Amino acid sequence: MKNWIDEIKSKLEAQKVITSKDCWQLRNNNTRYPYVWLNGQYYQISRITKEIYQGIKIYNHALHKCDNEKCWNPDHIFDGMPIDNYNDALKKNRSKLKNKGGTEKFTCINGHKFTPETTVFYKKKNGQINKNCKICIAQRNLNKRIRRVKL
Ligand SMILES: [Zn+2]
Ligand SMILES: [Zn+2]
């Protein structure tokens, strides 16, 4: 049996049109944020295309480098937060986003700067909001994958 990634990929590939700017669009779908249905579930294509083609999960928002909302070329999409949402989340949670010493968290424990592109906001079990560093998450996932390869 095919997994959902292969199923969606074949649905998308069947309708793929590449524009002169190298954007990937659906032949028969002119909505602003194209989607596909699979097994009764709705998938916004720009949110899943990086996972399907590059194995990279989107944690925040799927933003377009090309400013073409219909595009789902994984190279044109990055995981980030619209600067307004980011500042909003920061403002709302500023008091909670502190280090043990009481200073604001501007970098992760490994020294990466928190920016709209590198920050994941998440809720802890006790409901508190915290920040996570996407560079570190990517590094951990990579290490996991390397460990899984047996020599
Ligand atoms: Zn594009
Ligand atoms: Zn980090």
Q: What is the pLDDT of residues 126-136, one digit of tens each?
A: 777 778 898 89
Structure tokens belonging to residue 29: 């779908």
Residues 6 or more apart whose CB falls under 8 angstroms from that of 53 comprise: 9, 74
Average pLDDT, the chain: 84
C-alpha closest to that of 36 among 47, 28, 27, 45: 45
Residue identified by tokens 């989340």 is: 89
Where are the chain's structural domains? 4-79, 83-148
- Other Cβ atoms less than 10 A from the Cβ of 46: the count is 24
Cα of 110 vs centre of ligand 2, distance in Å, is: 5
Q: What is the mean pLDDT of residues 68-89?
A: 86
> In the predicted model, is pLDDT for residue 54 greater than 70?
yes
Kindly indicate the confidence band of residue 139, based on its pLDDT and cuts at 50, 70 and 90. Answer: confident
pLDDT at 127: 72
Instruction: Let me know if 114 is exposed, middle or buried by CB neighbors in 10 A (0-12, 13-18, 19+).
Output: buried
Separation of alpha carbons 26 and 36, rounded Å: 10
Cα of 7 vs centre of ligand 2, distance in Å, is: 34
Which one is predicted more confidently, 101 or 3?
3
Cα of 13 vs centre of ligand 1, distance in Å, is: 16
User: Quick check: 99 and 59 in contact, CB under 8 A?
Assistant: no
* Residues within 5 Å of ion ligand 2, judged at the Cβ atom: 108, 110, 112, 133, 135-136
> In the predicted model, is pLDDT for residue 17 greater than 80?
yes
Kindly indicate the confidence band of residue 23, based on its pLDDT and cuts at 50, 70 and 90. Answer: very high
> Against a cut of 0.85, is the pTM above it?
no
Q: Which ligand is nearest to the CA of 137?
A: 2
Residue identified by tokens 């390869």 is: 149
Kindly indicate the confidence band of residue 51, based on its pLDDT and cuts at 50, 70 and 90. Answer: very high
Separation of alpha carbons 81 and 59, rounded Å: 9
Which one is predicted more confidently, 108 or 144?
108
Q: What is the mean pLDDT of residues 11-23?
A: 95
* Residues within 5 Å of ion ligand 1, judged at the Cβ atom: 23, 66, 68, 71, 73, 76
> In the predicted model, is pLDDT for residue 19 greater than 60?
yes
DSSP annotation of 28 reads T
